Chains A and B, each alone.
Chain A
């Protein structure tokens, strides 16, 4: 039985006078299909959105997938958009924009497919995903 530890820390002064301090760890039991460490080029907005290699599509994804994405653009100038398509809608819509150096970690619903699309120029992304048992 394979596991990964996911830990998120949110800290800083924030906007209010209450200092932010979130630190939590979750152990997740995972299985294939997975890409534990990958990278790809994200095309500029003029190009078609690309799927993440190996990430299950709407027709064959029957498990929640924990998805990690990071914008690794260097020099740090370009953002890219993350699109979702659910099997019940069959249309892609932007739900997330990752600026340079920003990351996301999301348990993607089964039957939801993810695609990536650059903004003004092409950029780069690292990723990982794991199926939850």
Chain B
């Protein structure tokens, strides 16, 4: 069943320059299955190599990931199509429209050697 979601970003604050940041894009997206609207996993530090989060979908998809770890410094590494694109530290998140046909994988950072919990969601783009 096709549906829609609205994705809104707000970037605000003083930032680094004397010009405060005020960025707030909103976009409404048409989505469909396959999807995971609310999921969570743990990146096991003892696992060997990257672990697949999604299959290499034939459709583009929208992907959200947040590192939900607390009390440590474990980062979550995200590879797309075999290239490391993101390192998500505790409390941080990412949102991207992933190009079609690409595999998304995750792993915990090598150091410190701790498990990294995270939440995620993805939808196929119509």
Q: Which residues of A contact B (CB under 8 A)?
A: 2-16, 18, 20, 22, 24, 26-28, 30-32, 34, 36-37, 64, 66, 68, 70, 81-82, 84-86, 88-89, 93-99, 101-112, 128, 130, 132
Q: Could you tell me if B87 and A130 are in contact, using CB atoms closer than 8 angstroms? A: no
Q: How far is the CB of B108 from chain A (nearest CB, A)?
A: 14
Chain B interface size range: 35 or more
Q: Give B22 Cβ to nearest chain A Cβ, in Å.
A: 9
Q: Are B86 and A99 in contact, CB atoms less than 8 angstroms apart?
A: no
Q: Which residues of A contact B3 (CB under 8 A)?
A: 12-15
Task: Tell me, in angstroms, the Cα distance from A93 to B83 when the chains sit together.
Answer: 8
Chain A contacts of B27 at CB under 8 A? Answer: 101-103
Known: A7-B9, A15-B3, A64-B89. A98 touches B97 (CB 8 A): yes
Docked Cα-Cα span, A37 to B6, in Å, equals 23
* CB atoms of A112 and B6 under 8 A apart: no
Q: Does more than half of chain A's interface fall in helix, strand or loop, or is it mixed?
A: strand
Residue among A2, A89, A110 with most chain B CB within 10 A: A2
Residue from A3, A10, A12, A13 having most chain B Cβ neighbours under 10 A? A10
Chain B residue, CB-CB nearest to A12: B5
Q: Which residues of B contact A86 (CB under 8 A)?
A: 83-84
With contacts A5-B13, A101-B27, A104-B94 known, what are 15 further pairs, Cβ within 8 A?
A5-B12, A8-B8, A13-B3, A14-B3, A14-B5, A14-B35, A26-B91, A37-B19, A64-B87, A86-B83, A94-B102, A96-B97, A105-B11, A105-B93, A109-B77
Could you say which of A26, A95, A109 has the most chain B C-beta atoms within 10 Å of its C-beta? A95
Question: What is the bound-complex CA distance between A46 and B66, given in angstroms?
Answer: 36
Within the assembled complex, what's the spacing in Å between the Cα atoms of A86 and B92? 21
A-contact bits for B28-49, CB 8 A (1 contact / 0 none)? 1101110101100000000000
Q: Is the CB of A36 within 8 A of B17?
A: yes
Q: When the two chains form their complex, are residues B83 and A2 in contact, meaning their CB atoms are under 8 A apart?
A: no
Taking a contact as CB atoms under 8 Å apart, the answer to whether A106 and B96 are in contact is yes
| A36 / chain B contacts, CB cutoff of 8 Å | 15-17, 19, 21
A97 in contact with B9 (CB, 8 Å): no
